[in-house]
Structure formats: C-alpha cells, structure tokens
Amino acid sequence: MISYDDTIAAIATPPGRGAIGIVRVSGSAALAIVDSIFVSRRGKSLADRKTHTLTFGKIKNDAITIDEVLIGLMLGSSSFSGEDTVEIYCHGGNVILQQVLNLIVQYGARLAEPGEFTRRAFVNGKIDLTQAEAVSDLINAPTELARRAAVSQLEGKLCVPLNEIRETLIDILSELEAEIDFPDDVDDSSNERQLLIIKLNQISGKIKFLLKNADTGRILHDGFQIAIAGKPNAGKSSLLNRLASEERALVTDIPGTTRDTLEVDVNIEGFPVRFIDTAGLRSAKGKVEQHGIDRAMKTIDASDMVIWVSDISKKPLTKKPVLPKEIKDKSKIIWVWNKCDLPCKPTKTFIEELSELCHSIYICALTGDGISDLHNLIAGKLNKKKIVAEDDVVLMRTRHINLLEKVSHLIQDSLKLLNSNTLIELIVMDVRDSLKAIGELTGDITTEDLLDKIFSDFCIGK
C-alpha cells in the first residue's frame, strides 16, 4: 500500500533535451533534503527562505557541482500537493536531471509513483477526485475543446453541483429518518412528502443538466473513430492520405495492397477524430490477407462511423443499391464515391436511390475534389454534439457518467416509491445508495484500489 508519509521525488518534465528540466520533491523532509545538496549564491539555507520564493545556487554532490539551478519553494498547505514542495529548475538535460534525482533519493526521498503529487493533493483535501482526474484530462487534452472541458472541471464546475446534490440528499435523508424514528412528530405528512418530491425533482433536474453533454464529453475524452472500408482498390488508402494531408499509407494499383489497419488522428472542429484505413474486403487470397480482413471487420464494428469507399468507375454489383452487409449498424455509414475524375458507371436512378438510404459524397482522392464536402459532413455530425454554452459542464469520464446515471435511476425510483406511498424504509435505502454514489464520484468514499487505478494513468511527476 502506498504511504503518504514519505517524501517523494520525480523528474516532472518529459525526457529529452530542453532549456529547463524540473525535479519536484514533496513531503515533510523536502526542504531538509534539498538543503543538504544545495548551496545558494548568498550562502543562505533554504530553511531561512519564505514560501513562494525563488533562490539561485548550485546543486552539489560533496565538492562536485552538478548544475546551476533555481529553487522554487512552496511550503505547507499553500502548495499544490498540500505539503512542503521544493522544485528544482535545472538545465534540461537527462544526465543532469537523473543525477539530481539520484542525490535526492540518496538523502532520503523515494521515487514518486505516477500521479502521486496529485494523489497527495486529493488526500490532503486540496481538490476532490473529479478535480484530480481533470488534471490528467487537461494534460492529455487532444484538442482545444477537450482542454476547455477539463479546465472547467478542474475549476470546480462539476464538484460544486455535486456538493449541492449531496447536501440536498443529506437533508432528505434526515427528514425521512425523523419520520421513521418519530412518526407522531410529523404534523402534516402529505405536505412533508410534497416537499420531498420537490427536492428529489430538483436533484433530478441537476443531474439531467450535468449529463446533457455526456455524449460530447465521451468523444472529447475517448476520441471519435471512423473506419475507412470497402472493396480492394476503391481508393481507401488514397482517401486516408488526403485526410491526413500526408502520404501515410501505401497506394498501388494492386488490389489488396493494405493488409494491416493504419490510424491517423485529425482535429475536426475541436473533436479528436481517428481515421483508420483497413484492408479491402473480398475473399482473401492467403493467410496474411485473411488476418487483415478480420482486423478490418473488427475495426468496422468498433468504430463510431464507417466511410464506405466505392469506385464510381466500376459497375455496381447489384441492380438496386444495397447497403454493405459488412456494416451491421447501418446508421454509421457514409458512402463515398471515389474516382469521380473517371466516367461514372452507376445509373442516375441507382445513385438517387442510394442517397435515400445513407449519406453519399462524391470525391476524387487523386485531386482532392470533394474532400472538403466529406470533412464538412463529419464536422456537421460532430457539431450536433458540440457544447452549447462555453461554460457548460461536460462530463468526459465513463466513471462519472455511470455513477451519475446510477443516481438518476435511484432518484426516479425514490420518486415512484414516494408517489405510491410505499414504506419509507425503501426510499431511505435509495437515498443512501445515491449518497454513496455521489461520495464515490467526489472521492469522499473511495478505496486504495480505485485510487491506484485512477492515478496509474497519470504521468510521473504530476
């Protein structure tokens, strides 16, 4: 089990060369440890310096100078982690940073686990669990929209309404328990119940508001996946290269060129979109191709949308348009007719009938014609999910969404029970379970296992 009493240390900047590299130390011995290896220019000890100051000097291993550095002090509860924190701003070289870190460990600190500084901020009550998770989401934000959502969660846009919900639930619980313990003291029970219904409806409204943008949040956090699929030689890889604006995939006139899946991440109107090129679908001509086709099928199933590419210069296989059987969820299809520079083989009626079945777009991957139409169609679909107001709450993590949906169901259940005049004890159980779920969300009720799971996704030094 992780100990919160040790002093921890880590390199907080990414590996590689840079102007500055930072070693971070946090815990009760942080000041003393760094003081043992630091000589300030004016010869003053760090213990004599005030919090939130910078001190210039050298990190020394006995008589040997390791680097010239600046030391940042953030002491006591005013630091990010809520305990004495010392940051050493070194020159940004791996050897320097590793030497400084080794010295600090030699003098009594231990290496920090991923996210341990933030975990301490949570344990020391500086932030709640949703804010701790927002720190990681902010660092990992793939687009501006995702950054905005994470920063507003860090500022408390989620924990404030959650605390309001918790307070109302506690209120409701104490009233219900009073009714059980002292039934004779309740003057007008129908009036009491009316008040409870109003309070439960208020909570329900708040949860609805919080969950309103959950679809958008999931995409901002997990990304939106679009498979590019179709028959061999239709131009799937050429389209991927156009969307990526670089030659990522191999393109040849040999059917069956692409075997493995190939991913490209693109920012579309603030949404992180992942396009995946796949092997052309046909009866495989060998083991390797078959593996590729299996992967393509799995990718189609797992994707949020599928771009089905067809060669417009080829005669359609069927008289009437039929949506591809390879795509189970037909609502995911965007049909892209490629090679529009060549003569068009499908009849006008065929194309018209097809456009009634799904979205159809006409492109020429060779010249780039029509690519902007495809881009706009995808952007339009994503924009429907866009956050309405800039300061709206956007739940991004499945953990948050699932727990809030659970509370929402419990509240609906309580309302039904109240309206049907059931035993108060049953309603009390629902309200207690709701409180527990809210506690799990904010981290008031948690386990070391859950914390291990959440913080293991963080970077070291954060």
- Residues lying near ligand GTP in the complex (CB under 6 A) are found at 232-238, 251-253, 255-258, 280, 338-339, 341-342, 364-366
Partner that binds at residue 13, options Mg ion, ligand GTP, none, CB closer than 5 to 8 Å by kind: none
Q: Which stretch binds Mg ion (CB under 5 A): 237-245, 263-271, 312-320, 428-436?
A: 237-245
Q: Does 238 bind Mg ion (CB under 5 A)?
A: no
Q: What is the DSSP string of 295-360?
A: HHHHHHHH-SEEEEEEETTS--SSSS----TT-SSGGGEEEEEE-TTSPP-S-HHHHHHHHHHSEE
Q: How many residues bind Mg ion (CB under 5 A)?
A: 4
Footprint of Mg ion on 249-288 (CB under 5 A):
257-258
Q: Does 299 bind Mg ion (CB under 5 A)?
A: no
Angle, vertex CA 128, rays to CA 124 and CA 134, nearest 5: 120
Q: Which residue, 55 or 237, has its beta carbon nearer to ligand GTP? A: 237
Q: Write out the two tokens for 18.
A: 């840079």
Q: Which residue, 242 or 332, has its beta carbon nearer to ligand GTP? A: 242
Q: Does 237 bind Mg ion (CB under 5 A)?
A: yes
Q: Which residue, 113 or 311, has its beta carbon nearer to ligand GTP? A: 311
Give which of 399, 371, 410, 400 is closest to 266, Cα–Cα: 371
Q: Which residue, 23 or 249, has its beta carbon nearer to Mg ion? A: 249
* Residue of this chain nearest to ligand GTP (CB atom): 280
x/- site string to Mg ion, residues 74 to 103, per CB under 5 A? ------------------------------
Q: Which stretch binds Mg ion (CB under 5 A): 134-142, 145-153, 154-162, 234-242?
A: 234-242
CB of 277 to Mg ion, least distance (A): 6
DSSP class of residue 364 equals B
**Placement of tokens 């919080």 in the chain:** 210
129-140 and 448-455 helices, crossing angle to 10°? 20
Q: Which residue, 235 or 324, has its beta carbon nearer to ligand GTP? A: 235
Q: Beta strand 333-338 with 305-311: parallel, antiparallel or unpaired?
A: parallel
Give which of 162, 180, 63, 90 is closest to 438, Cα–Cα: 162
Q: Does 338 bind Mg ion (CB under 5 A)?
A: no
Residue 339 to residue 111: CA distance in whole angstroms: 57
CB of 278 to Mg ion, least distance (A): 8
Q: What is the three-class DSSP state of 39? A: strand
Q: What is the H or E stretch that residue 366 is in?
A: none
As a whole number of Å, the end-to-end CA separation of the chain is 19
Q: Is 412 exposed, middle or buried (0-12, 13-18, 19+ CB in 10 A)?
A: middle
Q: Which residue, 136 or 338, has its beta carbon nearer to ligand GTP? A: 338
Residue 148 to residue 152: CA distance in whole angstroms: 6
Q: Which residue, 290 or 446, has its beta carbon nearer to ligand GTP? A: 290
Q: Does 131 bind Mg ion (CB under 5 A)?
A: no
User: How far is the CA of 207 from the CAs of 99, 109, 210, 352, 403, in angstroms?
Assistant: 50, 44, 5, 44, 11
Q: Which residue, 118 or 237, has its beta carbon nearer to Mg ion? A: 237
Q: Is the dihedral of CA 163, 168, 173, 178 positive or negative?
A: positive
Partner that binds at residue 152, options ligand GTP, Mg ion, none, CB closer than 5 to 8 Å by kind: none
CB of 373 to Mg ion, least distance (A): 22
Partner that binds at residue 234, options ligand GTP, Mg ion, none, CB closer than 5 to 8 Å by kind: ligand GTP
Residue 151 to residue 140: CA distance in whole angstroms: 12
Q: Which residue, 149 or 363, has its beta carbon nearer to Mg ion? A: 363
Q: Does 130 bind Mg ion (CB under 5 A)?
A: no
CB of 233 to Mg ion, least distance (A): 8
Partner that binds at residue 461, options Mg ion, ligand GTP, none, CB closer than 5 to 8 Å by kind: none
Q: Which chain residues interact with Mg ion by CB under 5 A?
A: 236-237, 257-258
